[in-house]
Structure 1
Amino acid sequence: MIIDIHGHVSSPAELYAYRSILTASRGAHGREGVKLNPDQVLRGAERHVGLLDRVGTDVQFISPRPFQLMHAENPSEIVFWWTRAANDAVAAQVAAFPERFRGIAALPQAVGTEPSQWLDELERTVLELGFIGVLINPDPAEGQNLGIPRIGDEWWYPLFAKLEELGIPALIHAAGCRDPRENYSEHMITEASRTTISLANSRVFEHFPNLSLIVSHGGGSVPYQIGRWRAARYLEYTQVESYDNKDSSAPPEIVSFDESLRQMYFDSLVHDRNALALLVQTVGADRVMLGTEVPGSGSPIDPLTGFQYDDITRAINSYEWLGDDDRTLILKGTARRLYTRF
């Protein structure tokens, strides 16, 4: 079995028409909701399954599409209404092919609300709809400087406590972007990088030892810039001046940046064979899980390989230096261990 932990719903156009109505009316027409045509849900799911078959994926965990989550819209109630509708669309696709899909919930992370206000929808999706994980946007302000704390801050602790209680992992993935200096893809990688650094420098895993957090898109730039973060951690724990003195005492024991990285997990969605190899070699095969986003931004053909960028299983299977046990961990083993409700 090959398990892809990072996929998104393929939903009929009615779902996104409902989103347009909400944003245009700002909730003036009430919640109303949306009824998806079962035949169109099935057709979309069938196309999606065909793409999974092409790359050899047996089961994919799907969530609402992050760039559509509109967390920075107002008033906040339309974000709550939209999130519920998007999660229901995920549930409909899972129901169409329960042997191929599992649900990952989005949260109504409206700007101006706090994590404790998102928990009802989390519990509904897990306890009523049978979802097995959750998607977290580390920047609900979508690139605006609105003072929302980084994800390593205690502000997020009510959500982390509920995740531990329910026993579900979280895939951390940026959503929309309103910063004119970045497009959506740039913002997504920026936030993945910031998330990794914030968690590595936090006490989150001391307070929540059973919490499973997965940083999407391979941790952003962190594996590529690993040397800088190792050096920064060293400087954090020591006084550089003391090493100019040969009589100085031995440096204190340092919790390495690499050790901090291994408190979290990462998906494989970096779209490049060499970059993925660097990620696995940096954090360890037991900390990386297959994520492809099929169908998503990796659909174009990579001219270097002749295959689509999101055919990531092919890259993993091509590494001669990767042992069979480690390959199994990436393709299914770690996912089966973390996603206990699966």
Structure 2
Amino acid sequence: MFSPKASAMGHQFGSDLHSRYWTEACNDLISRAAKLWPDRISPVCQLPQSSGVNPEYWLDELERCVEMGFVSCNINPDIPGSVNPFTPSMKEDWWYPLWDKMTEFDLPGTIHASSTFNPAHHVTASHYIAQHHSAGVEILSSRVFQDFPNLKIIIPHGGGAIPYQWSRHRGSHVMLGLEPFEDAARRVYWDMAIYDQESMEMLIKRVSVDNVLFATEIFGAVNAIDPQTGRS
């Protein structure tokens, strides 16, 4: 699975046209790479997301990418990069045109933030994890999967802190009269790009092995050598 670099999707910069032109260029390059190595690369696209632009505007690019053989898409839950105008919660029906089109194509989507304007947050160490956690919590406490039962959503990097805060979310679902959180968590998929065995084991224990996808990263948030093991 090969997608544009998440932090460089650039949705927070410029106008909707800037986002569209950059998105098309990135997706075209991904397509070229997939055609060069079709037995090694499955292409994943980004969407022309931009502040103040509704999801209907993204759908023609999604359709173009499906026609080129793309197998999935990235979905940025924080389009402006943590500043106004804020992106609607993933539980809102604002997102429904995208969910509808993804269901039509039977196309899975990965919730993945891009960069941030918040100077207090390190992009990969803080911003990514916070956004993936909050987006996951929001969509799992919604009626999205009642309205789109065949929707395929992937939450990356083990869902941020969700497995660690498991009983907090179980308790919230009880208080709000929602389905058990452990059942909701099995409506999505979780990737295991989380770097250590103990965290992977916890994720599998929480959400079941059937809902966990193997994942590794070419670059990744952390590519240093571990001084304790001598390995990356």
TM tier, smaller: over 0.9
For residue 299 of structure 1, what is the aligned residue in structure 2?
223
Asked if 1:133 is matched to 2:67, the reply is: no
Q: Deviations over 1:116-137 (max 9, x none)?
A: 000010000111x111111111
1:219 aligns with 2:143: no
User: Aligned partner of 2:4: which letter?
Assistant: P
**What is aligned with 1:68?**
8
- Match runs of 1:30-49 below 5 Å: none
Are 1:143 and 1:187, in contact at CA under 8 Å, matched by a contact in 2? no
In the alignment, is residue 142 of structure 1 matched against residue 84 of structure 2?
Answer: no
2:163 paired with 1:163: no
Match of 2:175 among 232, 235, 253: 235
Match of 1:184 in 2: 123
Relative to the length of structure 1, the TM-score reads 0.66
Return the offset for 1:306.
3.3
Question: Which one-letter code corresponds to 1:173 in the other structure?
Answer: H
Q: Distance in 2 between matches of 1:226 and 1:145?
A: 30
2:70 partner amino acid: F
Q: Which has the higher contact order (CA 8 A, sep 6+)?
A: 1
Equivalent residues of 1:215, 1:266 under 8 A apart: yes
Q: Unpaired segments of 5 or more residues in structure 2? A: none
Matched letter for residue 65 of structure 1: K
* Equivalent residue number for residue 107 of structure 1: 47
> Given residue 264 of structure 1, which amino acid in structure 2 is its aligned partner?
V
Contact 2:76 2:113 in 1 (8 A): yes
Which one-letter code corresponds to 2:230 in the other structure? G
| Alpha carbons 1:111, 1:140 under 8 Å: kept | yes
Aligned partners of 1:68 and 1:176 also within 8 Å? yes
Conserved 8 A contact 1:230-1:257: yes
Cα distance, 1:292 vs. partner?
A: 1.1
Bigger Rg, which one: 1
- Give a deviation string over 1:165-189, Cα, whole Å, max 9, x none: 0111001111011112212121100
- Given that 2:152 and 2:188 are in contact with CA atoms closer than 8 Å, whether structure 1 keeps it comes out as yes
| Correspondence for 1:289 | 213
Aligned length: 231
1:291-330, CA deviations, whole angstroms, 9 ceiling, x for partnerless residues?
Answer: 112233342223344322xxxxxxxxxxxxxxxxxxxxxx
Could you say which residue in structure 2 is the equivalent of 1:7?
A: none
Kindly report the root-mean-square deviation, in angstroms, between the aligned alpha carbons of the 2 structures: 1.2
In the TM superposition, what is the alpha-carbon distance from 1:148 to its structure 2 partner? 1.8
Letter in 2 for 1:292: T
